[in-house]
Amino acid sequence: MKTHIVAFALSILISLSARAELKWEQTMIELHPTSADKQAIGHFKYQNPGKTPVRFKSVHASCGCTTAQTQKDEVPPGGTGEITATFNIGDRTGTQVKTVTVETDDAANTKTVLTLRTIIPQQLEINPTFVFWKQGDKADPKTITVKVGKEFTVKHIKVTSSSPDFQTKVEETGKGEFKVDVQPKETNNLVASTLSIQPEDSQKVFYATARITNSPVVQ
């Protein structure tokens, strides 16, 4: 009986050591783009240490915002290369985790998941980005809080309303925070305004919306 177990264990060990498999330098990359960057690009390098070629069957990104490219379809024994994962930042914020699933013809390890972790710096954090009043409500001011990101210094911000129906007032509350009071002139008409929030000495503009809405839908 002992012989059977040893033979079984040995067969597993031998099959594991004999397989042709891509060896990845790293399967997780963390990127720190600047606030001006439109893309974050990760290079996942690999090597084929086996004695048989490895062929890529598919390379698939977890999100439409990420593309992945192989340099070649087949990696010869001893060959090296990389998969380039490009993440389009768009208007995304915070930490973004995207994956690329690589399928090869290696029967023992067909799938490898590559992870691209992108930390997008946020100069201003606006909360909430939407303030509204129901038609006929009292035209009291509502407050939007603007927080400056840890790695940034902003001493002043400028807030502009696209519509004269809303007035804004900025107050610096210290510790990298600002209070923006938004007030409609009246709430009888269904009007809206885009509030542009711009840090001083910066081209980047952030947005919030103010609106007078109609009354709730009665079910």
Partner 1 sequence: MRYSLVRQILILAVLALIPAVGGAVYFRHKISWRSAILPSEMVTVDQARAWGENVIWVDARPDEEFARDHVPAALSLNEDRWNELLPQFLAAWSPGKKIVVYCSSLGCNASREVARRLRREAQLPDVFVLEGGWEEWLKKR
Task: Name the nearest CA neighbour of 47 among 85, 17, 84, 77.
Answer: 77
- In terms of CB distance, is 115 or 183 closer to partner 1? 115
Q: Does 115 bind partner 1 (CB under 8 A)?
A: yes
Q: Does 9 bind partner 1 (CB under 8 A)?
A: yes
Rounded CA separation 40/12 (Å): 40
Helix, strand, coil shares of the chain as percentages rounded to 5? 10, 50, 40
Contact pick of 44, 98, 157, 199 for partner 1 (by CB under 8 A): 98
Instruction: Compose the 58-97 pattern: x for residues touching partner 1 by CB under 8 A, - for all others.
Output: ----xxxx----------------------x-xxx----x
Instruction: Compose the 132-171 pattern: x for residues touching partner 1 by CB under 8 A, - for all others.
Output: x-x-------------------------------------
The answer to whether the beta carbons of residues 118 and 40 sit under 8 Å apart is yes
* Plot region of 25 (φ>0 → left; ψ -120 to 50 → alpha; else → beta): alpha
- In terms of CB distance, is 55 or 211 closer to partner 1? 211
Rounded CA separation 187/139 (Å): 6
Binding residues vs partner 1 (CB under 8 A): 1, 5, 8-9, 28, 62-65, 88, 90-92, 97-99, 115, 117, 126-130, 132, 134, 192, 194, 206-207, 209, 211, 213-219
